[in-house]
Structure 1
Amino acid sequence: MTPTGASLLIGQVGHTRRLPRHHSLRYRVASVLVDIDGPEAPASRGWTFGFNRPGFVSLYTSDYGGDGPSLRAWVEKRLTDAGSTSPIGRIQLLAAPRILGLAFNPVSVFFAHHPRGGLAGLIFEVSNFHGGRCSYAFPVDDPGDGNAAQHLQTKKRFFVSPFNPVEGHYRFRLSRTDEQYRLSIQLIREGDVVLSAAHTARLSPLEPRALHSAAWLVATNTTRIFFGILWEALRLRLKGLAVFAPRRDTIDTLPGRH
């Protein structure tokens, strides 16, 4: 899995809850994939897309990572803490951009590449409605000669949904080519798959014409994500699912704690 050019991703997110009640939800979503050191994209030269500056669509690196000196330093430290010894070259971020200054990212993905191009590590940064953020970092040994899917697993450490306690573990499966992207996440508890989520999308160059052709989807992106999650929560509550509260004064509720 090698770096790609700055891209616009158009696709959908689906959630399927298996226990204790079956429930599913799907909504369309737009995301961008850019280098955190600055995207080489025609769209970044005008008002349509702004990188660390205002734009109809924008991405600010300050919205991600911790409180360190730079986002690159945070990515490198998280991977080092996770056991990586590889040097890091290009780092790309896949996230839902701000639309007119507003965004909500349930899951953002960092692709850290070797200087020679192969994948050196992945970080999944998860956010919740309480302002908390948590990251899951994984060293990867990918020589860059193929697009094999990455299969990863980790203990759940963070409160996300009011219908799930923190207990359990995640299974991630991620694949990406220059044209297709797929991320699936399973929440496993006591040997059972409680919840499955998947983000699938097609990639196109991040150019003004691509943003213009998907104008309506992009313009309503933040609203769709935010209210889609709230709508799911309302339906689950009406189905009688028990609710859990976030842990006070932990990463569940303190922004920037990872």
Structure 2
Amino acid sequence: MKPLPVSLYTGDVGHMRHHPRRHSLRYRMVSLLTDIDGTARNDRGIAGFAFDRFAPVSQHAADHGRGHGALRDWVRSRLQQNGIDFEPGRIQLLAAPRVLGIVFNPVSVYFCHRADDRLGAVLFEVANFHGGRQVYAFDVPDDTATPLRFACEKTFFVSPFNPVEGEYRFRLDRDEDTLRLGIRHYRDGTCIMGAILQAERQALTTRSLWKAQLAQPLNTLATVGGILFEALRLRLKGLRTYAPRRGSTDTLPRGL
């Protein structure tokens, strides 16, 4: 996977809960793939869009990582913390943008490329409704493998209907036109639930941006509203709920 030009992705997110009750949820999603710094982080010529300043649609580095300081330094420290030893070149971030200043990203993906543009690592930044964020980092020894597959222990509270315990399995496939990201949560060898994003890529231009916004005018609010409505339905189905661990990364993004 080589770095791509600044891009807009439109597609569908599907959730399927398998245990202890079957339940599904689907919603539309608009995301951006952009460099986190450098000359490619250029918003000139895209009306109504900006990096790191207010605009009807914008992307802010402060919405990720520690929420302050250079995002590259934070990514580098996360790589080192996970034993991934290379100096990243271009780092690209796939995330939903702010719309009228509002944003919520359940999962953001960092593509960390080597100096020769080969993909060297992938980071998944997971957020919850309690203000917490956690990162799962993986090295990519062979960037020609298709799809990329990763697995790790689940260490972070996300859904009130699942305890922290379990295992995540990630499946990531991306070419120049499409992206497919699947995440499954296993516990005691059983798949509890899964989520999948299937999206199509196009260049980020004034036309493509506003076409996407007209089709999905309240990107973040629609996502959050849909998740909360489905949570109510699950509660009515009698699912047990769990609380986040206070004082941990479940509620403290600065702990990253």
Aligned residue for 1:140? Answer: 140
Q: Measured at CA, do residues 22 and 39 of structure 1 come closer, stay the same or move farther in structure 2, by a change above 3 Å?
A: farther
What residue number does 1:198 align with? 196
- The equivalent of 2:21 in structure 1 is 21
**Is the contact between residue 147 and residue 176 of structure 1 (CA under 8 Å) also seen in structure 2?**
no
Task: Report the 3-state secondary structure (helix = DSSP H, G, I; strand = E; otherwise coil) of the residue aligned with 2:194.
Answer: strand
1:82 equivalenced with 2:70 (yes/no):
no
Give 1:42 shift: 7.5
5+ residue gaps in structure 1?
Answer: none
Residue pair 2:45, 2:206 contacting (<8 A) in 1 also? no
Q: Contact 1:97/1:103 (CA < 8 Å) preserved in 2?
A: yes
Deviation at 1:212, TM superposition (A): 1.9
Is 2:251 the counterpart of 1:253?
yes
Aligned to 1:118: 118
**Structure 1 residue aligned with 2:151:** 153
Aligned mates of 2:240, 2:169 — CA distance in 1: 24
Correspondence list, 1:1-258, <5 A:
1-38=1-38, 40=40, 44-66=44-66, 69-143=69-143, 146=144, 148-258=146-256
CA distance in 1, matches of 2:41, 2:137: 27
TM-score scaled by structure 1? 0.95
Question: Matched residues in 2 for 1:169 and 1:37: separation?
Answer: 32
Q: Distance in 1 between matches of 2:167 and 2:53?
A: 37
Contact kept? 1:147, 1:175, Cα under 8 Å = no
Further displaced range: 248-257 or 120-129: 248-257
One-letter code aligned to 1:124: F
Residues matched between the structures, number: 256
TM-superposed CA distance for 1:234, in Å, is 0.6
Paired letter, 2:128: N
Superposed displacement of residue 55, structure 1: 1.1
Structure 2, unmatched stretches of 5+, are none
Task: Name the amino acid aligned to 1:151.
Answer: R
Q: Displacement, 1:40?
A: 3.6
Q: Any runs of at least 4 consecutive aligned residues in structure 1 with deviations exceeding 3 A, and if so which?
A: 38-47
Mapped to 2, the partners of 1:46 and 1:16 lie a distance apart of 36
Q: Retained in 2: the 8 A contact 1:127–1:134?
A: yes
- Cα deviation per residue 1:170-206 (whole Å; 9 max; x = unaligned)? 0000111111001100000000000000011000001
